[in-house]
Structure 1
């Protein structure tokens, strides 16, 4: 009998929330809107939208209208298509809108109320003539001088790049030559899909999850390439784009487990622009990092979209990475774009991880508070390094790597920049190796074996005075001279 009364009581409390009326925009005093305004919402959509390549290939400038109800807690319910475009774009529009949870609810008589809304998701792309819908592949044609052409009479070579619905490589890349009117495969560049485990971070420490690291490239250092990490259900965890010519990544993106973009790093010249988002979809900050690791804050907002830094001045709150699997936020004054005075890094309001002191954006002193005794430092981060030094490492390469191709020595020595990445643990142990950019297959594997020989002989990354596990990209230049 008591249980029955408890159920009835619960239903009485729950009923008013469920039965709250849904107002239209003309029936409220203040309409529901994205936190931070429509411009912030559009930036979120642009950052997260993955236009299906089959739709994008024909060129687009259209939109899907999404309808739903903005609830009093700032979430949205009842999402549905109000005006469709096509099945693929409709599904993508719903996916993106489901990720966004930074709404300001409508108000009536100074009380939050539920309101029906209709919002557009814009799809805009230029045509992609290289996409072949019958093959579900990008096909690039070249003349005898390896110049890209569209005139069929000049076709001599071609690349066939099989892609999935979003344009990511899904199978081996084929390089073909036209011989006697038929296309013959000269070389196949392998599609690589490795199962890995990824450690997630958040307000509390999260478990590792299974994922797949996927890559494929044209096998030479000049060509651009991409590497993605996806969950088994296809949601992204990371994206890395290499521009080619042996350069380090031009774009790095990391994602929340939901598949929403968390951070984007774009390298250009001597600056790196870092844009971060809160887990509700609100833009957090836009900062620039120069080649001296000095940070300049360009934009900064809180989770409700309120501006914290305006025209380079204000009290900032910036996502600063993780500490033992938990998200850390830094807070402090910004003057003329640069950190100044005392800054703190915290897991929560009272969980102090470190404090730092700046003058004109330059770190003068840092104190970490997570050990038994405070630990002082003056350098924010020290990258992993081979303990014996670069001279000894390259001596290992000379002793163990045969640079000439074993089957055809007349080809000569390779040229370019080899990029190998691996995880360096807190103890200096190496694991999770990946050849991100090769120069020649016989060279790549030999260098990889040399790096594996150095397991345990590395000093780990030191961040704010603490040894941490980190992924390290190791570049090695090969020159003909």
Structure 2
């Protein structure tokens, strides 16, 4: 009995000791964010949302949150210790709780639980926020102005309680002492398909897209995309159809996955892992995931493998064949030497680079047969070129009564796939005018089937999607 009681007390004492929460001054090494506080601050800035109710109130100030850094680097018991405003308080707790990439505190050489405190700042990010609308004023050159008396235009956008638009903005022009309707942009609710992050086979996600389009059907202002469950997928800013400001993409748990800043002379990109650990900092040089100049890169455990453009890098993305992983040397931010690519874990190719320029490569098939190539990719080509294809379509429209639609003017956008034998498949109308005209456009494109030279990627024919406009 005495032995049992002694063991019980020992276990209880050990458990109590393991769960003790230490103050920062009581440990040998304090808990710190992996990569330093500068990276944590970047994470907070990227993930923090100013609640729309706080925008309306024009809340500005700093609040403090406290919590516990656990021995595994995660956090627990995050709570506000000095509040600012209820919605801001909740947002601060949400954001700080998302970051689970800490180096834990050490005591006697072992990881222990440690208390931490962090400040989070809030300030308005939108001008003219009101409970049910956003009102902005502009001068004659379209520049935002605060003083209504100096404005020539007034823009009113109706919004819901979260600040999302529920109708296209109406623009009013000053005429003497009155404001008269000048134009109304449209609110577009669309469906967008993107590839998810599941492995080994990526899933297709159907997104709801909420966007403003101007009279020329160009994206304008903030554009929102949502996961099927309503969680935010991305926020993008457009001006006359072109990306501007910051584009931010989110994981399903609400944590930022990618943020690209287009305000820079060369767009700057930050990527994060799902635990908040920074993944990569790079400048964007093209439209594809691999078209970047890598500045810094970390693995999921916080180990830095590329620093100031030097080191061994790893990139991951999904294409039509599966999950692609590329690994190789980075020098001055550019690919150098041999880069090895695997698809779904199998060796797929070896590419040689000099100062970021592709030199040559070898691709491997399922039976490891090899093909050498001097160009990574060649787009599909119509015999006679795109100009020849459009001239052919134009002649058919003008010469055949089947395609004569008197008094009708407009454009039909047709999407299709150029298969490896040069035929076309998966034809569909993505933007139409009228059913009979849409069907005519499909027929016109179908008649070019078999006259295409297929795309080639790494020396092998491959299917590639295309989209063209047909004007009537």
TM-score by length of structure 2 reads 0.74
Q: In the TM superposition, what is the alpha-carbon distance from 1:28 to its structure 2 partner?
A: 2.0
3-state DSSP of counterpart to 1:44 = helix
How does 1:265-280 map onto structure 2 within 5 Å? 265-266=260-261, 271-280=266-275
Q: 1:242 to 1:146 in 2, by over 3 A?
A: closer
Residue 210 of structure 2: aligned partner? 214
2:195 to 180, 194, 199: 199
User: Matched residues in 1 for 2:64 and 2:429: separation?
Assistant: 45
Q: Any conservation in 1 of the 2:188–2:213 contact (CA below 8 Å)?
A: no
Cα offsets for 1:227-286 (capped at 9, x unmatched): 332124442223443332x54677554332223222334557984544322222222222
Gaps of 5+ in 1: 1-11, 408-412, 436-440
Q: Any conservation in 2 of the 1:52–1:165 contact (CA below 8 Å)?
A: no
Residue 454 of structure 1: aligned partner? 445
Q: 1:371 to 1:217 in 2, by over 3 A?
A: same
Residue 238 of structure 1: aligned partner? 234
Q: Any conservation in 2 of the 1:55–1:89 contact (CA below 8 Å)?
A: yes
Residue 361 of structure 1: aligned partner? 356
Residue 47 of structure 1: aligned partner? 46
User: Matched residues in 1 for 2:165 and 2:395: separation?
Assistant: 35
> Is residue 123 of structure 2 the alignment partner of residue 132 of structure 1?
no
Task: Report which stretch shifted further, 49-58 or 105-114.
Answer: 49-58
3-state DSSP of counterpart to 2:293 = strand
3-state DSSP of counterpart to 1:169 = coil
Q: Any conservation in 2 of the 1:189–1:218 contact (CA below 8 Å)?
A: yes
Task: Report which stretch shifted further, 265-274 or 28-37.
Answer: 265-274
Residue 66 of structure 2: aligned partner? 67
Q: Any conservation in 2 of the 1:202–1:326 contact (CA below 8 Å)?
A: no
Q: 1:178 to 1:339 in 2, by over 3 A?
A: closer
3-state DSSP of counterpart to 1:279 = coil
Counting matched residue pairs gives: 444
Q: 1:56 to 1:150 in 2, by over 3 A?
A: closer
Q: Any conservation in 2 of the 1:296–1:338 contact (CA below 8 Å)?
A: yes
Task: Report which stretch shifted further, 282-291 or 356-365.
Answer: 282-291
User: Matched residues in 2 for 1:170 and 1:304: separation?
Assistant: 42
Q: 1:148 to 1:70 in 2, by over 3 A?
A: closer
Residue 160 of structure 1: aligned partner? 156
Residue 7 of structure 1: aligned partner? none
Q: Any conservation in 2 of the 1:271–1:291 contact (CA below 8 Å)?
A: no
Residue 308 of structure 2: aligned partner? 311
Q: In the TM superposition, what is the alpha-carbon distance from 1:40 to its structure 2 partner?
A: 1.0
Q: In the TM superposition, what is the alpha-carbon distance from 1:195 to its structure 2 partner?
A: 4.2
RMSD of aligned Cα (Å): 4.8
User: Matched residues in 1 for 2:295 and 2:189: separation?
Assistant: 38
User: Matched residues in 2 for 1:207 and 1:326: separation?
Assistant: 11
Q: 1:70 to 1:327 in 2, by over 3 A?
A: farther
Q: Any conservation in 2 of the 1:421–1:471 contact (CA below 8 Å)?
A: no
TM-score by length of structure 1 reads 0.73
Whichever of the two has the greater Rg, that structure is: 2
Q: 1:19 to 1:146 in 2, by over 3 A?
A: closer
User: Matched residues in 2 for 1:377 and 1:33: separation?
Assistant: 48
Q: Any conservation in 2 of the 1:173–1:217 contact (CA below 8 Å)?
A: no
> Is residue 280 of structure 2 the alignment partner of residue 285 of structure 1?
yes
Residue 255 of structure 1: aligned partner? 250
Q: In the TM superposition, what is the alpha-carbon distance from 1:38 to its structure 2 partner?
A: 0.7
User: Matched residues in 1 for 2:128 and 2:199: separation?
Assistant: 44
Residue 26 of structure 1: aligned partner? 25
Task: Report which stretch shifted further, 217-226 or 422-431.
Answer: 422-431
Residue 120 of structure 2: aligned partner? 121
User: Matched residues in 1 for 2:74 and 2:110: separation?
Assistant: 16
Gaps of 5+ in 2: 1-10
User: Matched residues in 2 for 1:400 and 1:250: separation?
Assistant: 42
1:390 to 386, 403, 416: 386
Which structure exhibits the higher relative contact order, with contacts defined as CA atoms closer than 8 Å and separated by 6 or more residues? 1
Q: 1:466 to 1:187 in 2, by over 3 A?
A: farther
Q: 1:471 to 1:179 in 2, by over 3 A?
A: farther
Residue 103 of structure 2: aligned partner? 104
Cα offsets for 1:430-471 (capped at 9, x unmatched): 578767xxxxx989xx89985896379588876656777888
2:166 to 163, 170, 188: 170
3-state DSSP of counterpart to 1:90 = helix
3-state DSSP of counterpart to 2:43 = helix
User: Matched residues in 1 for 2:244 and 2:466: separation?
Assistant: 12
